[in-house]
Amino acid sequence: MTQHALLPESIHIERAEGAYLHTKDERAIIDGISSWWVNTHGHCHPKIVKAVQAQAAKLEQVIFAGFTHEPAEELARKLLRLAHDDLEFVFFSDSGSTAVEVALKMAIGYFEHIGAPRRKRIVALEGGYHGDTFGAMSAGGRGVFNKLYEPYLFNVTHLPFPHAGEESKTIEKLEILLRGGDVAALIVEPLVQGASGMRFYSSETLKEMRKLCSAHGALLIADEVMTGFGRTGAMFACEKAGIAPDLMCLSKGLTGGFLPMGATLASKEIYMAFYDDDRSKTFFHSSSFTGNALACAAAVANLEVWATEPTSTYIRSIEKAHDKAAGWFYARPDVEAVRVMGSIFAMDIRDNNGKGYLSEIGPKIYEFMLENDILLRPLGNTVYILPPYCIKPEDLETIYETLWRCLDHIRDERSQRAA
């Protein structure tokens, strides 16, 4: 995701604390995007540091086929307590993409094992992003990220994105597909599509999709890799919408952003489809680092931070500040749309060139903000703020004010060019 011909210099970070990234030459950069949405409680949270250090001195890693350990057991128990009661099993892996691959494989395997092999079709939303491995790319919306690889991607049926006021188009197409009886699963990013530009859709639509999948015997996979761990205001977006998926993919905030880890939560029915004295029905998926003890210890400590610190209050304060800022930005003629959900603030800047992700506005904002010691990484002409929950109110203010100046700068540059 970095074009080295245009961005030859990477910034050397020596240490990090809270919402700050400290460079070798002693700049303190505000991490306005939680280092790609992973860091929830701030960098180097002392409780997670301590847990990882203690675990490293005891057990760093052990094969997770036929073996287990306390941090993994504890993490599974804690995750299942947090998730909807319908989810009863956890499969550990090592990233968001693998959490998605695992969910897709489970959905297809499930129908094969229960004697419904016709159900092979995967349905997804246009514009979705589920990762960059081939299965995850196949489920994702087609565009600049995966255009080159299109001939190698498997067939996925994409539904129109449920824009406000146009939800019925999505729902109607889903229902027609489901009636065909060959759908294995619908995979969605619940409530917010992240990488396609922080696009929101309603809880009612998600509920309707859930209802239809259940009515027609298809599975619903919720990819909560971005939305999970408080991003939308609730612990999970599915919880916010009041639905239970059959499979739920987690990563990013799972370890508080400390270590790479993925988890796929599944219903008992799915687990039982693979549980058999016929060894060929084993769920065949392994990652060398499945259930890594350090990652599990970090994730357990992350959940302890959630349980003992006022994280939800921090998120509510961020949302309030975002709402206020949204009001200011909305009044700008160069801003097309502004939206806020939980800790997510996003706005679309008008761009007459319409190049989507390749819009020139993105790199301009990135550079301007970085010159002012703020890390934002726009998605084309959509600029978003997704801070660690511990961010100080004055740092959030600094981000809004700098962004305002940045938009002024781009506007002035445009009018100079036009003159």
Residues forming contacts to ligand PLP in the complex (CB under 6 A) are 95-97, 100, 129-131, 189, 194-195, 223, 225-226, 251
In the bound state with ligand PLP, the residue whose beta carbon lies nearer, of 100 and 125, is 100
Burial class (CB in 10 A: 0-12, 13-18, 19+), 354: exposed
Q: How far is the CB of 238 from ligand PLP (least distance, A)?
A: 13
Q: Locate tokens 């306390």: which residue?
A: 70
In the bound state with ligand PLP, the residue whose beta carbon lies nearer, of 299 and 406, is 299
Mapping DSSP to helix (H, G, I), strand (E, B) and coil, where does residue 156 land? Answer: strand
Q: How far is the CB of 408 from ligand PLP (least distance, A)?
A: 30
For the four alpha carbons of 97, 216, 184 and 113, in that order, the dihedral sign comes to positive
What Rg value do the Cα atoms of the chain yield, rounded? Answer: 22
Distance CA 291, CA 415 (A): 55
Token pair recorded at residue 47: 């409780």
In the bound state with ligand PLP, the residue whose beta carbon lies nearer, of 189 and 395, is 189
Distance CA 21, CA 89 (A): 36
In the bound state with ligand PLP, the residue whose beta carbon lies nearer, of 264 and 402, is 264
Token pair recorded at residue 144: 């600049």
Q: How far is the CB of 203 from ligand PLP (least distance, A)?
A: 18
Under 8 Å between Cβ of 186 and 221: yes
Q: How far is the CB of 280 from ligand PLP (least distance, A)?
A: 29
In the bound state with ligand PLP, the residue whose beta carbon lies nearer, of 119 and 127, is 127
Pairing of strands 262-267, 87-93: antiparallel
Q: How far is the CB of 140 from ligand PLP (least distance, A)?
A: 9
Q: How far is the CB of 251 from ligand PLP (least distance, A)?
A: 5
For 180, list phi and psi in degrees, rounded to 5.
-65, -20
In the bound state with ligand PLP, the residue whose beta carbon lies nearer, of 153 and 272, is 153
